[in-house]
Structure 1
Amino acid sequence: MTDTTETTDELMEATYAALCKHGYASLRMQDIADESSKSKATLHYHYESKQDLLYALLDHLTDSFADRIETLEGETPAAQLLALIDAYLEPAADDSAAEFWTALLEIKAQGPYDERFRAELADFDRMLHGRVRSLLEEGRDEGVFRADVDPDEIAEFLVTALNGAQTRHVAVDHPLERTQRTLETYVRRELLADDADETEGRFE
């Protein structure tokens, strides 16, 4: 790993930690520097402003999540689709994770006013939609999902449900587990082909 890569990784981790701790509106470059071994001047050497660091962080998080859902557990597209839903709706393990989702929601709220945030968020949305659609197409072609499944339409529904569940969880503390269970039931009851045998490893 090069020094540049190490520095970038450290600054992304520091920005993530500071964002979780302080939130979008109150975040300062000094807060980010305090979470790293770098000085505020060093941060400004690599990124002109806090906004540039946040752009880089959102890009970094998008790439990380894309890598995570590219290799999903499960022997079938149906099992992998459930693994993707679980990955997106996994309850926060600690307070910092919960704070991060809150901060990320603040970033999303900047989308209507910041063209670059909006473009990054749109890229993330397309990535998630594309991954869900590819699993649905693969499952339909293999006979795991019903032949009349419309991958694009169902992917649109699932992505909307996933994003809505996260927003509702952050805003009013609605349990993510409820949406997880509902979407799992939807996949099993509405998408699986009639002859898909869950007991013989086609689904689990």
Structure 2
Amino acid sequence: MADTPNGSDAAADTREEIMDATYRALCEHGYADLTMQHIADEAGKSTSLLHYHFDTKEDLLVAFIDHLITEFEEVVAPSEENSPADRLREYLDLWEFAPEEDERAALHLALLELRSRGPFNEAYREQLARSDEVLRSTVADIIQNGIEQGVFREVDPAATARLLVATLDGARTRQITLDDPEYTRGVRDQLEEQFVEGLLVDGTDDTTGKGQ
């Protein structure tokens, strides 16, 4: 039987609750120790309800990665109010988290564990590849837009985006695996000074995209 509109809304709400519970459970238990029971407890639901929506923990985590990607795309959606340089700075900010943000650090550590399973799990690998593509294409699009506006120098957007994302990813991995709370912030600031400012065409006011 097809879902009624109210039924569809209820299913969407339940799915959102499960995604939120997965977030909290991953932060609390990490990837290796995570169980469907942990997620059910966080959601205040039964494991049978979780299995009604997702056959296995793998299916649920694949959906969770998709959920994170969708949220990221909404956060970085283009805004005509911001210059390309400001959009790049905001992108850099997304990778940084403060030393006291224990929950966020725990989530990224869990996701790093999950990424390590990519070579052995096709479903994870496909979602992780999609995530990487979204991260890189977001930067490439911002750079291309800046070039077209005459704000940024002529560079290869795709190659430049690969370098930026690889640098940020490496910095965050070091921060969470070596417990180096200031590392990502330092790299972020260096990238703003050397990368973003270096892209700007001489004599350009990056807050307006117009020549001074």
TM-score (ref. length: structure 1): 0.91
Matching residue of 1:117: 124
Matching residue of 2:5: none
Structure-1 separation of matches of 2:79 and 2:166: 20
Q: Deviations along 1:99-141, whole A, 9 cap, x unmatched?
A: 1111111111111111111110110111111111111111111
Matching residue of 1:67: 74
Distance 1:112 1:70, change over 3 A: same
RMSD across aligned C-alpha pairs, in angstroms? 1.9
User: Would you say 1:136 and 2:113 are equivalent positions?
Assistant: no
Letter in 1 for 2:185: E
Aligned with 2:88 (options 81, 98, 108): 81
Letter in 2 for 1:13: D
Matching residue of 2:174: 168
Matching residue of 2:111: 104
Report the CA distance between 1:171 and its aligned residue.
1.1
User: Would you say 1:12 and 2:13 are equivalent positions?
Assistant: no
Report the CA distance between 1:185 and its aligned residue.
0.9
Distance 1:73 1:166, change over 3 A: farther
Structure-1 separation of matches of 2:196 and 2:144: 16
Letter in 2 for 1:6: D
Distance 1:118 1:151, change over 3 A: same
* Larger deviation, residues 175-184 vs 185-194: 185-194
Matching residue of 1:145: 152
SS at match of 2:123: helix
SS at match of 1:83: helix
Distance 1:189 1:2, change over 3 A: closer
Structure-2 separation of matches of 1:188 and 1:120: 29
Structure-1 separation of matches of 2:61 and 2:141: 30
Are the equivalent residues in 1 in contact too, given 2:150–2:209 (CA < 8 A)?
no
Q: How many residues align?
A: 201
Q: Deviations along 1:157-184, whole A, 9 cap, x unmatched?
A: 1111121111111111232110111110
* Larger deviation, residues 171-180 vs 22-31: 171-180
Are the equivalent residues in 2 in contact too, given 1:72–1:84 (CA < 8 A)?
no
Distance 1:73 1:95, change over 3 A: farther
Matching residue of 2:30: 23
Distance 1:170 1:87, change over 3 A: same
Fraction of identical pairs, as percent: 39
Matching residue of 2:3: none
Report the CA distance between 1:75 and its aligned residue.
2.5
Aligned with 1:57 (options 59, 64, 67): 64
Structure-2 separation of matches of 1:151 and 1:113: 31
